Amino acid sequence: MHFCVTYMPLLNKTSLRKVLPDEAWSIARDTFNRVRKFQRKFERRPCVGWVRFGSLRRVDPIDPNFGFRYGTVIDRYYIQAFLSQQASDIRGHVLEVENNAYTRRFGGARVSRSDVLHYTEGNPKATIVADLTDAREILSDTFDCIILTQTLQFIYDMRAAINTLHRILRPGGVVLATCHGISQISGYDMDNWGEYWRLTGLSGRKLFMEVFPTNCVTVQAYGNVLAVTAFLHGLTAQELRREELDYQDPRYEVIVAIRAVSRLWTKTTHCLGFPLHATKSAMLAAAVNAHLHSEYMEVTL
């Protein structure tokens, strides 16, 4: 069998057919097909009992703290990839949650003003203390960009928070949000404000499209089964190869990243004091919005 598995694929079926007598060819063909079937089965799934779990044969994780102390946390590898790809959106007046590390790192000189939002009092870096589900203290049309990494999963009324994001963005402003797809619970966050949700790429897209113009929401998911396994065990990005981290399998989403651009038309008309009511106006708004957005994209890309 070993000989067959190793050498049969090297033999060409057509050339064998030419040189072998009929009876021998019939045996060779059957063997060839059996070997292929065995190979395919093996490629798909090893036999029961053949998997070697090695260091992963344990019911508690290798590091329960996401691997923070040992290297780059795997979800952060993906969040940074997303923000680096969208770096040109991080400009003007930027809001970030908890601290402004990503604003400074990815926005640099494009940022004219940086604000930090925190849910509770006591964070010295916070310039705004607010609950995103009902943040009346934040004026509408304030920010050009909101970096909302790893926050939505901690807000029970996610829809209300997304409405606030849209309200406080300037016309044409951008929110860059990330949320866990597959992850352990974060003990610190659970104890302080609660951890409620996981998103899929599809639910993230639908939630944002309820508020933002549908053609202005893009979603990207990152991860694969190896990255998920390593992440759940608190292993770090340095312990995987780059190609292993960058392989994207849509069935295993570690991070769901959303980019949404706020409505230009309704925001502009609202600023000018012309709220839209009639269906006709709404249809006109949709058309103009699409046009304005395509112009906006051309300008910013």
Ligand X SMILES: C[S@@+](CC[C@H](N)C(=O)[O-])C[C@H]1O[C@@H](n2cnc3c(N)ncnc32)[C@H](O)[C@@H]1O
Given the rule CB under 6 A, which residues bind ligand X? 96-98, 118-119, 131-133, 149-151, 154-155, 189, 193
CB of 160 to ligand X, least distance (A): 9
Check if the beta carbon of residue 179 is closer than 8 Å to that of residue 152.
yes
CB of 247 to ligand X, least distance (A): 24
CB of 156 to ligand X, least distance (A): 8
DSSP H or E segment with residue 49: none
CB of 91 to ligand X, least distance (A): 18
Looking at the Cβ atoms of 91 and 180, the one nearer to ligand X is 180
Check if the beta carbon of residue 231 is closer than 8 Å to that of residue 238.
no
Looking at the Cβ atoms of 162 and 292, the one nearer to ligand X is 162
Looking at the Cβ atoms of 141 and 189, the one nearer to ligand X is 189
How would you list the strands of the sheet with 217-222, edge to edge?
128-129, 111-118, 92-97, 143-149, 169-180, 255-261, 217-222
CB of 69 to ligand X, least distance (A): 16
Distance CA 11, CA 191 (A): 62
Looking at the Cβ atoms of 8 and 148, the one nearer to ligand X is 148
Check if the beta carbon of residue 221 is closer than 8 Å to that of residue 201.
yes
Looking at the Cβ atoms of 132 and 228, the one nearer to ligand X is 132
Distance CA 65, CA 233 (A): 9
